[in-house]
Structure 1
């Protein structure tokens, strides 16, 4: 699919109460430092763009990875014409545009403001952009709005402006700020600085002679004015069309990594829209010095240092799908990202959990451990890098910080009890399960280094999930310090002991040992519990949240039992039937669940979250899924397209062909790998990366699939 066929508004029709993705229509370079969106309100809100709005406040330079995290180092560039009251409230300057006449592409943004009769175009670069304005009316002006706290410096030639942006209250750095340099193709004839109180913006208004066209070259830095200016100089010989072409070619390279063909053009389009979303995060937080070497700002120690750094990523979300996809498609970039995450460890003292740009400490566990283990198992890290990461994993797992945002909390209790007691810790069930999974990941990395004692220790603690299993209900339940299950248990009550769900969504987060989990079941048995999970109503109790959060609303909306595919804890639930005698249930569920996605503004069944939900859709369409990142296996589902080809980084191809692929054929009859019958229910990473041909035959009714090798598990 061509990049100019991607509409970046997929999933943007969202509110705090209901999410169709909670995405923004990012125009930029894959993994670039900045993204650019049209802002449709001057309210200081994370929901700064609505696809339904016809208002246009200007082009926002944004670093927002999620509305629940918020934006930082952001500012708005607006163009207006005519005579207006420049001292009036900023909201009176709002423009107007027709959404159906605008262009929203990954590489190009174009909007015609009907109020000011001005066309705004954006062509992004890695560290900035070229903004082109075409004026059909007289008295053109450019207004730069900086939320909260900003300052402006003009050069003597009156064709360049420097910005200081300080609108992020960092927990670790009271003086965190960013810088921008903007150079104009025409001199401005006058300037005016205004201060708006509601909402608070520092704004500079630049007036120009009556010109038809204006080009702005823009570059940013987290390091200094000089570094921003240096990045700007790199754009000197770049015109708008060449910048647009470079961005287009860059995006096309990434979109061409997978080729799909099918009669269902909507699903094909949705696939490529999701592929675009997977290459947005994490964003670069490093810059290039005069020798093109990476440097970055260490905001924990207020220093400029050498090396890579990345930001805007929540590993609780992305570890499940994004990085196992990167391992196949872009292992070199994956490796570079890991080097950046390691620098975060060196500077903060702990492996990151949620970077934006510093540690936010959001979500339970330390699931970057899965990202590290997955790369190590798949040969993406060198031996020395694996050794460094193992030390970092061990420190982050054992040395508690006085700041709860960093590392694991409650490790003494976890080691003492074998779980986190519910009378001491919130979300104790999820924390316990995530710690156990991380310990499995540590053991995997230790095995690669032949650190047998470490591997054995953490393989043992990876079984701590068993301490919260209740055989009577078949679910994970919180325990107190005395070892008693918490009383007054309700399986559909959300929060308190669970994260963004109830026991139904979270009890199966034992990615590393599904076969071991199965053995704990008595009556009901494992498959009976999975059937109950799937077939009951999507009922819920608000529980510890005290009100209805958007994830509850979204689970009810899709009406898929307790499989809340709208959120990450449920991502692997449809694939659990592959560990039973009825893998056909997985095939049926996946065939139906992919229908919850499309390429529109309502494109996702819940928060997309840094590419994690998009990557789930991509894997599910290809027909296999990484249930356990940190292992080398991808568990089978059912392929959706007639044909898909993965263009591998080693120059080889992995071809996926599906025969008898039609809506009524919802089951797999047989699979062939390189013309040989495939008995396993999973693919090895090496089988994919070495290239080959996977042929799948679908059928109307399921065949018995007994005596087939089950996927990886710690208990195998």
Structure 2
């Protein structure tokens, strides 16, 4: 009777936990959205911005498996503790655990010989995921797997069948994508504790991660492997594996806690002791889900359409997977300078996909994540001190130098101009200026010529246009600081975009000298890596002037000519060529929503006095390119940027300029949305008479008074208040049309 009561209590506890996590805003999140097509999103269990992303990896490899998982697959080779989300390059996948039964196998196997390895098939019918939780059944072994996590600890629950040969394989060889081990080590400390480390190279050239693993059941036997089985309880090599073996009763659960650290095995243990001292799996699931609900509650949307809620809160979820924590509970972290840093005074972070995220994800953080903004900027400034420049694309204490521009600059400047005080402003200005004055990646040509010659540097147009955005941002920071000389210098560099514009063709194009462009020229052609553009063509990059839309309008011949060319852009058809990047997806004419350089373009109509065309395009993109299906993201998620675009746009506004503190109105999707801000303030957006047909803003009231501008400032937004949109089925030819009511570029100090 006592045993029966305990079983009944366990069943009731489990049921109550899982019904609990199904409530709240987290119930609208579907982590499977984006696991199809080219979304490349992370699948598994984590907490907001956590160091641990604990999830499955498929046996298949390739571009669509950059996160290790794709919905088209039905194989699992284990559960790693670090993952990327939405990138176009694969890496991480560290510290893989795989529960098995039967004969010991320490290699994953292959698609041609699955029986020769430990890989298992699974069915998506046996798979469950929600924020902070992942579960699946391994068909080959009849093992149930449940995963959850804290910031720095992965928590596994394995339900085994009755067997004398139950195993947990620890595979330190396995990684994702470009990742390859350089040195790995595993050691059995006692019958419930296993430790080790994994050094690897890949996208991050020198990655180091340490782990401590604690088991709920004593190990019956522990075997270590490099290329073959080894004597002893410890082994170091390139392809290290460890296998813990048990005898299990039917449906016996074994729990595993894995703490990770960028610093040491001891810190990994400290992370476990601090974050997960007990063994209550369900309580940990509940806590993780509560962490997510706390974040989701910052934006409350009202709509009768639950699908819209599902897409919205899943988008919010995707914006908070990275940047991820990269320190231990004692504050220690591994720096870019390959030194352990202590007492940093901020939470060190990693996974900065800045070329993507400076456009919308980081501006979104300035609204919803004020404390984390300070940590992000402080991390970037520490990276500057350690490597001599701000991060470009930073991963696990490594500079990858991936993508063009120095895109940390607009993020630092945006935070500074918005009044953030949680970082060293003097150091911040030193960092942005020093980064822009280096002699690398074409910057020397920018300083000497004002453009990057196409025969000197690949992707010269894209690189030059991104530098112009970044330099314009530095100019605004200099102006705010009262540095007139630097303001004039960097403002001139911010106007360098004009040097790529060909007045004869009306396009941005590659320049060879002050008097010659590269020939032949086709605005549709896109040659990635060895061409003139980064994942795009001239049609798309001609609009990459978010810092000075008024100047671009003038280049193109005024408002009318500007709008005419924008209209052409959204219908133009042409061959992009055989080398066009897979990233160029979600096409409307030449507009490519699947890639970031296009993200601001729909909102440029407002600068020329036609905001209703912005509304048309935004509503179409929101409807067609974001869905609740597994292929519901039209391109790489890109570490939160694709979803940040949706969060902003569905609320009704978007930061075209990355650092001037203004948000341009589009077309609000929801009947009502309330943003919870710092200081217990709230900003509410109400869309009256809103519907799929009534997508055009007719008029606006701000705090009860008529508001004729087609934008709102960050300063006004964070004060709190109420914005009421009157929506209608036809464009208003008066609201937001006058020059005085249009968005502007240069911030007003």
Shared topology, TM-score over 0.5?
Answer: yes
Asked if structure 2 preserves the Cα contact closer than 8 Å seen for 1:491 and 1:503, the reply is: yes
Counterpart secondary structure, 2:356: helix
1:41 equivalent to 2:59? Answer yes
Counterpart among 397, 411, 417 of residue 377 in structure 1: 417
Counterpart secondary structure, 1:486: coil
Partner of 1:309: 348
Asked if structure 1 preserves the Cα contact closer than 8 Å seen for 2:311 and 2:627, the reply is: yes
Asked if structure 2 preserves the Cα contact closer than 8 Å seen for 1:513 and 1:715, the reply is: no
Q: Distance in 2 between matches of 1:602 and 1:439?
A: 37
Bigger drift between 629-638 and 33-42 goes to 33-42
Q: Distance in 2 between matches of 1:420 and 1:43?
A: 37
Counterpart secondary structure, 1:669: strand
1:204 equivalent to 2:265? Answer no
Partner of 1:630: 659
TM-aligned CA deviation for residue 389 of structure 1: 0.7
Asked if structure 2 preserves the Cα contact closer than 8 Å seen for 1:172 and 1:299, the reply is: no
Asked if structure 2 preserves the Cα contact closer than 8 Å seen for 1:223 and 1:304, the reply is: no
Asked if structure 2 preserves the Cα contact closer than 8 Å seen for 1:65 and 1:71, the reply is: no
Rate the CA distance shift 1:322–1:300 in 2: closer, same or farther, 3 A.
same
Asked if structure 1 preserves the Cα contact closer than 8 Å seen for 2:41 and 2:67, the reply is: no
Q: Distance in 2 between matches of 1:415 and 1:547?
A: 31
Asked if structure 1 preserves the Cα contact closer than 8 Å seen for 2:106 and 2:241, the reply is: no
Structure 2 unaligned spans of 5+: 1-23, 174-180, 229-237
Partner of 1:191: 222
Partner of 1:405: none
1:268-417 superposed matches below 5 A: 268-289=309-330, 294-307=331-344, 308-357=347-396, 358-381=398-421, 385-400=424-439, 408-417=440-449
TM-aligned CA deviation for residue 59 of structure 1: 1.5
Rate the CA distance shift 1:654–1:67 in 2: closer, same or farther, 3 A.
closer
1:536 equivalent to 2:536? Answer no
TM-aligned CA deviation for residue 335 of structure 1: 0.8
Partner of 2:462: 430
Asked if structure 1 preserves the Cα contact closer than 8 Å seen for 2:502 and 2:509, the reply is: yes
Counterpart secondary structure, 2:741: coil
Counterpart secondary structure, 1:536: coil
Rate the CA distance shift 1:682–1:145 in 2: closer, same or farther, 3 A.
same
Asked if structure 2 preserves the Cα contact closer than 8 Å seen for 1:117 and 1:137, the reply is: no
TM-aligned CA deviation for residue 4 of structure 1: 4.0
Q: Distance in 1 between matches of 2:106 and 2:340?
A: 39
Q: Deviations over 1:600-658 (max 9, x none)?
A: 21011111101000000011101100000111100111101111111112211111111
TM-aligned CA deviation for residue 88 of structure 1: 7.3
TM-aligned CA deviation for residue 703 of structure 1: 2.0
Rate the CA distance shift 1:335–1:85 in 2: closer, same or farther, 3 A.
closer
Q: Distance in 2 between matches of 1:385 and 1:86?
A: 53
Asked if structure 2 preserves the Cα contact closer than 8 Å seen for 1:119 and 1:133, the reply is: yes
Q: Deviations over 1:32-89 (max 9, x none)?
A: 11201122217596353122333232222223345533223612111122x3253676
Asked if structure 2 preserves the Cα contact closer than 8 Å seen for 1:146 and 1:202, the reply is: yes
Counterpart secondary structure, 2:285: helix
Superposition CA RMSD, Å: 2.1
TM-score under structure 1 length normalisation: 0.92
Counterpart secondary structure, 2:284: helix
Q: Deviations over 1:280-311 (max 9, x none)?
A: 1101112222xxxx221124233444424211
Q: Distance in 2 between matches of 1:172 and 1:59?
A: 23
TM-score under structure 2 length normalisation: 0.88
Partner of 1:403: none
Aligned length: 685
1:510 equivalent to 2:550? Answer no
Partner of 2:198: 165
Partner of 1:704: 733
1:574 equivalent to 2:602? Answer yes
Counterpart among 25, 37, 42 of residue 2 in structure 1: 25
TM-aligned CA deviation for residue 342 of structure 1: 1.0
Q: Deviations over 1:98-145 (max 9, x none)?
A: 212321112111112232222111120110122111223323211111
Rate the CA distance shift 1:669–1:196 in 2: closer, same or farther, 3 A.
farther
Q: Distance in 2 between matches of 1:97 and 1:376?
A: 49
Q: Deviations over 1:342-365 (max 9, x none)?
A: 111111111001011211001110
TM-aligned CA deviation for residue 458 of structure 1: 1.3
Counterpart secondary structure, 1:209: strand
Partner of 2:103: 84
Asked if structure 2 preserves the Cα contact closer than 8 Å seen for 1:65 and 1:312, the reply is: no
Rate the CA distance shift 1:169–1:696 in 2: closer, same or farther, 3 A.
closer
Counterpart secondary structure, 1:286: coil
Bigger drift between 55-64 and 580-589 goes to 55-64
Partner of 1:525: 561
Partner of 1:594: 622
1:140-179 superposed matches below 5 A: 140-147=166-173, 148=181, 149-155=183-189, 157-169=190-202, 173=206, 176-179=207-210
1:480 equivalent to 2:512? Answer yes
Q: Distance in 1 between matches of 2:28 and 2:701?
A: 34
Counterpart secondary structure, 2:172: strand
Partner of 1:255: 296
TM-aligned CA deviation for residue 678 of structure 1: 1.0
1:497 equivalent to 2:523? Answer no
TM-aligned CA deviation for residue 170 of structure 1: 7.6
1:644 equivalent to 2:673? Answer yes
TM-aligned CA deviation for residue 487 of structure 1: 2.1
Structure 1 unaligned spans of 5+: 401-407
Asked if structure 2 preserves the Cα contact closer than 8 Å seen for 1:275 and 1:615, the reply is: yes
